A and B are shown apart, each in its own frame.
Chain A
Amino acid sequence: MSESNIDIELSYLRKKIDREKDARKQAEVLLENKSTELFDINQRLQEANQQLDVIVTRRTKALKATAERVEITSDELQNTVNRLSLVLDVANAVTWLFNVRHQTMDIAGKSQSLLGIEPTKAIPADDILSRIHKDDQVQLTEELGFALKEGKAISLRCRVMSRNGSYRWFLINGELSSFGAKRSLCVIGSCIEMHEQVEREREVWRMANHDALTGLPNRNHFETQFNALAGESFVSGEGFTLALIDINDFTQINDTYGHRTGDGVLQDFADILRGYSDHATHIARLSGDEYIVVFKNNIATWSAHELCQKLIDECATMSIQDGERLGLSLTMGLAVFPKDGGTMDDLMQSVYSAVQVGKQKKHIGSSCVLYNSSIERERFRERDIRSALKAAIEHQSFDLAFQPIMCNQSRYFVGCEALFRWPDMGGQWDIQEVIDVAENSGLILDLGEQVIDMAFSKLSHLSDMGVKKWVAINISPLQFQFQDVPHIISKALIKYNVDPAMLVVEVTENIFLENITRVAAVLGQLTKMGVRVAIDDFGSGYSSLRYVQSLPLDKIKIDKAFIDNVGSSAESQGIVNAVINMSHSMNYKVVAEGVETEEQLTALKEMGCDFIQGYLFSKPLSFDELIKLDDFSASAPLVLKTHLGRTL
């Protein structure tokens, strides 16, 4: 290598060293820049890292909070599930899910102890259905069908076979729903055991609808049953016969034998009625002594009548305690649905009318009356009287007539009987019929009060005139039963300021049918007030000497039926004589009613009858006519003449 080449190379290498130095400086600057850049990047990374840390911390916190919430929710859910499970256990309930597609059921809860089924899934629905009582299966299937087709909620009671194989009552509720990820169609519900409750309800229903003494259905049950039977009858077009049975004078059995025996008789009677169950759709006890039998619609009315007759015969001799025989007298009414009444009220009205007709003959024994149009006419007639009577009571349009009563010894008129009169009464009715209607309808209570007031008004008038003669007024047994008669009379005595001795209260023997202790007490009160008491129409009713003896009486009025035959019938005369003697032996005066002939008068005089009342001396008179009677107003004995003109 030449020297110049060496110089060139050296020069190049020197320059290269310089260039390398420059390059190194460049590189150092670059590195410095890169270092700064890296530092900045690092700084930014740190900041980013910090921000990331903040974000991570925040996110972690949020996640923790969410996790805690999830945990709490999970706990709450678990608690809810536990509570639900407890509630199901306490309520003796299970839950069920009916998978519509697979026709299976899932059961959860106390199904093992309640139903003997392990809580499990996918039990074939038919297996469950077979555990439902056969009478309830159709309804359950129908309700499930409605739930599926119309989305209608299920709620029904049915009997489900329990663990021991017996059926128990459950309340089944359910609703259409869906379940699982695929939202499969299902019906979800509960099955709550309510056997005890249903049994209690049935017991309550039984008590509310049955008579405790006889165990027969009561009026309430009869009314429900009647509506159902009437509905069926309208659909089928076939009527039925209904019998109303009334035990005649049942209170006498209670009074005579005691309530325990009376109850026994009613129970025996109910058993006899049950013997007719094959012929009847319904047998019920409506009240104390009223029973109803609804005959099957294939029993013709004449057959029903025969069966009633058979019942009457069966009851004619019943055995009571110690083998004693007792004849039970029945009054039965028969009416046909819908011919004799298209509603229960109308039919009952008809059958009651028939019984009323029978009741009129009860003194001759049992009877069975088939309702007919004449009874209906009678019923309308009674209704008309009732209606007119009501209006008349409101307008106080009544009056009194007075029939004088003569002393058989002194021949004075010593008093009179006030008789009810209704001046505006229609000509088609008679006064006794009106009184009967008033008695049957209860209108006698208001009417009786008006009569008492009118009688007192006239008594006051007589008193003012200085006429000291008694006035007898009739008091109905109904008034004794439902009104405070002594109080009413006491008020009138004060109001009119009359001497109580001028008043005679006449009561009929029917009063003995009431509580005799109470009757005795009431009559005793009247006697204490100074009012005198007479038994009217003696001999026409019970004529119980025991009662007559025990009551505080002043007079006995012999029924006109006996007086009619005095003088012509030795038998009647004997009875009248006996009554007079008996009454006198008890210090009671005797009044003979309805004396119309001199023969009767002579005979009664011979028998020592104290007082005479009748057409022989005077018909019933208006008050003005009465006070114009010299014989009545005079205080001295007069020679009386009969209207036949003979001097007595």
Chain B
Amino acid sequence: MKGIIFTEFVELVETTFGYGVANALLEGCDLPSGGAYTTVGTYDHEEILSLVGRLQKLTGTPAPDLLEAYGKYLFPKLAEQMTAMSLKFDGALDLLCSLESIIHKEVLKLYPDAELPSFNIKKINAKEILMEYRSCRPFAHLAKGLIDGCGDYYQQTLSVSMKHLNTDTEFSTLITVRQS
């Protein structure tokens, strides 16, 4: 998992919960990286799961809510990179529909070793899409937070519902996005 996910997560914890919680979080997790993250580095996704799990205990906020909040916080950071990559979209749904066909392709060009989730996207109508999230990692809520962040970014109101279809070997979630 790319370093930006970790650096931004730590920054979010520092900002939202203060250095004390951040210290307890990093000290309380036995992180192989020791919490020394750099945006250009790549780290085991287990570390973010450890961090989220520890934060849940420290703050009492459920992990899915933490991931969604993080996703929402993360999106504008990623959007900056998209701008740098000259990727432009008409709105939230346009961006989401292009996720697989354009954005992930560009990401793989920059980071050939990146392990990205797959999205099977179906356009229901002009205002509604169905996204099938499939990954070996349980980050469907991070995805939801990112979708919310996307709506905020384009200043569009999106209602996002999720239906988990996880199996023993794979995490799968149907995400319905409606623009109102």
Binding site for B on A (CB under 8 A): 5, 8-9, 11-13, 15, 18-24, 26-27, 30-31, 34
Contacts and interface: CB of A to CB of B under 8 A. Distances in A.
B41 interface: yes
Interface stretch (B30-38, B58-66, B77-85, B117-125): B30-38
B17 to A, nearest CB: 12
11 contacts: A8-B19, A8-B23, A9-B19, A9-B20, A12-B23, A15-B23, A19-B37, A21-B36, A23-B41, A26-B36, A30-B41
A34 B42 CA distance: 13
Contacts of B22: 12
Interface in B24-46: 26, 34-41
Contacts of A11: 23
A27 B23 contact: no
Contacts of A21: 36
A15 B18 CA distance: 15
Nearest to A4: B20
B20 A5 contact: yes
Nearest to B43: A26
Contact of B36 (A13, A19, A30): A19
B19 A22 contact: no
Given A8-B20, A9-B20, A12-B20, A19 B34 contact: yes
Contact of B41 (A9, A13, A20, A26): A26
A8 B35 CA distance: 17
B20 A27 contact: no
Contacts of B36: 18-23, 26
Contacts of A24: 38
Nearest to B22: A12
Question: Which 3 pairs from chain A and chain B are nearest by CB?
Answer: A22-B36, A12-B23, A23-B38
Contacts of B34: 19, 22
Contacts of A30: 38, 40-41
A22 to B, nearest CB: 3
A20 B14 CA distance: 14
A31 B3 CA distance: 14
B19 A19 contact: no
Nearest to A5: B20
A31 B19 contact: no
A9 B20 CA distance: 6
B71 to A, nearest CB: 23
B29 to A, nearest CB: 13
A26 B36 CA distance: 8
Contacts of B18: 9
Nearest to B42: A30
Contacts of A34: 40
Counting chain B residues whose Cβ lies within 8 A of the other chain, the interface size class is: 10 to 19
Contacts of B39: 27
A127 to B, nearest CB: 67
A24 to B, nearest CB: 7
A31 B35 CA distance: 19
Contact of B40 (A12, A15, A20, A27): A27
Nearest to A24: B38
A25 to B, nearest CB: 8
B38 A27 contact: yes
A20 B35 CA distance: 9
A370 B177 CA distance: 131
B40 A31 contact: yes
Nearest to A10: B19
B11 to A, nearest CB: 11
A128 B3 CA distance: 90
A15 B20 CA distance: 12
Contacts of B41: 23, 26-27, 30
A74 B18 CA distance: 84
Contact of B19 (A13, A18, A23): A13
Given A5-B20, A20-B36, A26-B38, 11 more contacts: A9-B23, A12-B20, A15-B26, A18-B36, A19-B34, A19-B35, A23-B38, A23-B41, A27-B38, A31-B40, A34-B40
A24 B20 CA distance: 23
A21 B36 CA distance: 8
B134 to A, nearest CB: 30
Nearest to A20: B36
Nearest to A25: B36
B154 to A, nearest CB: 32
A8 B20 CA distance: 6
Interface string B144-161: 000000000000000000
Nearest to A8: B20
A19 B35 CA distance: 7
A33 to B, nearest CB: 10
A18 B38 CA distance: 13
Contacts of B35: 19
A45 to B, nearest CB: 16
A195 B152 CA distance: 99
A26 B23 CA distance: 21
Contacts of A19: 26, 34-37
A23 B23 CA distance: 17
A20 B34 CA distance: 11
A24 B18 CA distance: 23
Give the residue among A8, A15, A21 with the most B Cβ atoms within 10 A: A15
A259 B41 CA distance: 134
A12 B38 contact: no
Contacts of A20: 36
Contacts of A26: 36, 38, 41
B81 to A, nearest CB: 17
Nearest to A11: B23
B77 to A, nearest CB: 17
A21 B35 CA distance: 11
A20 B39 CA distance: 11
A31 to B, nearest CB: 7
Contact of A23 (B20, B26, B37): B37
Contacts of B40: 27, 30-31, 34
A18 B35 CA distance: 10
A27 B36 CA distance: 10
Nearest to B6: A23
A30 B20 CA distance: 30
Contacts of B19: 8-9, 12-13
Contacts of A31: 40
Contacts of A5: 20
A11 to B, nearest CB: 7
A19 B26 CA distance: 11
Contacts of A8: 19-20, 23
A5 B22 CA distance: 13
Contacts of A23: 36-38, 41
B23 to A, nearest CB: 4
A463 B35 CA distance: 170
A289 B39 CA distance: 133
A445 B35 CA distance: 149
B116 to A, nearest CB: 20
Nearest to B21: A12
Give the residue among A5, A8, A15, A23 with the most B Cβ atoms within 10 A: A23
A34 B112 CA distance: 13
Nearest to B18: A9
